[in-house]
Amino acid sequence: MKKLINDPATVVRDMLEGVVALSPATVLLTDENVVIRSGLLDPEKRMVAVLSGGGSGHEPAHAGYVGAGMLTVAVAGDVFTSPSTDAILAGIRAAAGPAGALVIVKNYTGDRLNFGLAAELARAEGIPVEIVVVADDVALKDTVPDDRRRGIAGTVLVHKLAGAAAEQGLPLQEVARIAREAAGKLSSMGISLGSCTLPAVGRPGFVLGDAEIEVGLGIHGEQGVRRMSIASADELVNLVLETIEADGRLKSGDRVALLVNGLGSTPPMELAVVARSAVARLEAKGVVVERAWAGTFLSALDMPGFSLSVMHVDEAMVNLIDAPTDAGAWPRGGAVNRNRVLPSAGVKKSVTAEIRITAAGERLRSAAERVARALIAAEPILTQLDSVTGDGDLGTSMVRGAEAILALPGESFADVSGGLMAMANAMRKAIGGSSGPFYATGLMRASRHLAGIEKPTAPQMAEAFVAAVLAVSELGGAKPGDRTMIDALHPAAETFRDKLAGGASADVAWRSASAAGIAGAEATTSMKPRLGRASYLGERAIGHPDAGAVAVSIWLEAIGND
């Protein structure tokens, strides 16, 4: 497993030095892996210090939450290993004054032992210390007593409330009370799509099948309480929230804060999908989501997956959540949008007389269906080709366009011009990226070329084809030889027109045009790309045909297969 590290033995220190280098509000102790808020007042004037920490590998926790209004100190152990008692004590000594220190601990044996002993040693030195233990993992509700549940991502919310309370100058007992109340109102649960890899080990902690996931796991690469088959994001969110409900912690009328947490390698796109589902599910139950965030807040190295944390809140807690902080990893904001949909300004449809479908329009509809079905069947090969030299989305893009064409009502093909325009609009709406605009532009140009012609002749169709290819070339700037779809389109259109001009029948001319397009697509194999994403590869793209040109060759052949 490849990792961007220097040495597993120094990875924690290297990481902390990087975090501090990018956060002017923090400093790093010289002899311990302890990050401290910079610019602290003289000890006698200091407010309550808020400390937390644990094993590394949970970034941005915990060092990312050091700053005014959140943590005063973050203590980092080795990867997935509790920090030493001495490191924790060094953090307490460096940050706490007579006002004392609040220590927030996730409910793991090593953390409880080392943070607990450090607190005792600090008290023996005359430093007031309170400990709050977070045990928010509801996945263990049927496995262990409540006080033995793990502390996972919801701990970050406790950091925020405690830090805001301390920043207001509240005494230690009150800051501790607020933190304990927050921890007691907190429920979390995680789902993993795969394992993570420790830098010193170099291999995953467990192996899942392609269709398997782990449900109810902690944050140290361990397996969950059970394994199940992969399901949709909506179904997985429902599973987590149903578990929280079954624990008696969620009902209609509750006010909550929601944390959608990525476990390390979950893309923002997927976290947004999870957030959408979680907010909708809670609102449908009558729960008021006062604040919500989606991102990676407390990870398990590079684990793919997510956790949901739901914390019951009142107005005072919301105010503490909203209080300012300069901790770099805290996302700010969190207000939930209550008006999320704006109706589109649609085009008003006029009432028209019954539409008569021409014979030419019917032939176009039949050809369009053949094209669509051929492109759907070709999705695997188009995806594979585009993955080599592009971004791999051409196959699915062509499928979306094909399905949009198949969904067009029959009256869309009343005549050839109208049918081409209907296909242009369908492709434009169904396909993003570059393919949609290219095909829509070409079809629109051909439609305008044939406007008002009920029975277009083969030469007129050929001229419309040439005009369409010219429109695509003008839009993208491509010319023959640039290794694009033009290398298949241009010879096909020119051949069709020239063969007809030479006296060939429409069928013979089209077979020649199709052969020319196929040859043009094959010729791109030896071309160096000059446009598009393939151009970034330069000569590395040589040896593979252009996927867009191959797609053209597929539908050219499909048109002739009547």
Q: How far is CA 485 from the centre of its chain?
A: 31
What sign results for the dihedral spanned by CA atoms 27, 64, 150, 186?
positive
Dihedral Cα 525, 531, 534, 537, nearest 10 deg: 100
What are the strands of the beta sheet with 73-79, ordered from one edge? Answer: 26-28, 34-37, 73-79, 49-56, 101-106, 129-134
For residue 356, the one-letter residue type is R
Cα–chain center distance at 321:
25
CA angle 396, 236, 285 (to 5 degrees): 115
357 in helix, strand or coil?
coil
CA distance 165 to 168: 5
**Helices (H) and strands (E) in the chain — how many of each?**
17, 12
By the 8 A CB rule, do 264 and 303 touch? yes
Question: Strands of 255-262's sheet, edge to edge?
Answer: 226-229, 212-215, 186-192, 305-312, 255-262, 288-295
Which two three-digit tokens encode residue 484? 């694009």
Q: Which pairing describes strands 186-192 and 212-215: parallel, antiparallel, or unpaired?
A: antiparallel
Count, residues in the chain: 562
- Reading the block at residue 559, the tokens are 């048109």
- Separation CA 111–CA 52 (nearest Å): 10
Residues 23-54 as b/e (b if ≥16 CB within 10 A, e otherwise) read: beebbbbeebbbbbbeebeeeeebbbbbbbbb
**CA 2 – CA 505 distance, rounded (Å):** 61
In the set 159, 220, 449, 490, the catalytic residue is 220
Paired tokens of 375 = 């492109």
Q: Which position has the token pair 């070409």?
A: 442
220 is catalytic: yes
Inter-residue contact 139 to 190 (CB < 8 Å) = yes
AA identity, residue 197: T
- Tokens 């290794």, residue? 483
DSSP 227-264: EEE---HHHHHHHHHHHHHHTT---TT-EEEEEEEE-B
Alpha carbons 515 and 525: distance in angstroms, whole number:
16
Q: Using CB atoms within 10 Å of the CB of residue 407, give its burial: 0 to 12 exposed, 13 to 18 middle, 19+ buried.
A: exposed
Q: What's the half-sphere exposure (Cβ side, CA atoms, 13 Å) at 289?
A: 24
Q: Within 10 A of 239 (CB to CB), how many other CB atoms are there? A: 15
Active site positions, annotated: 220
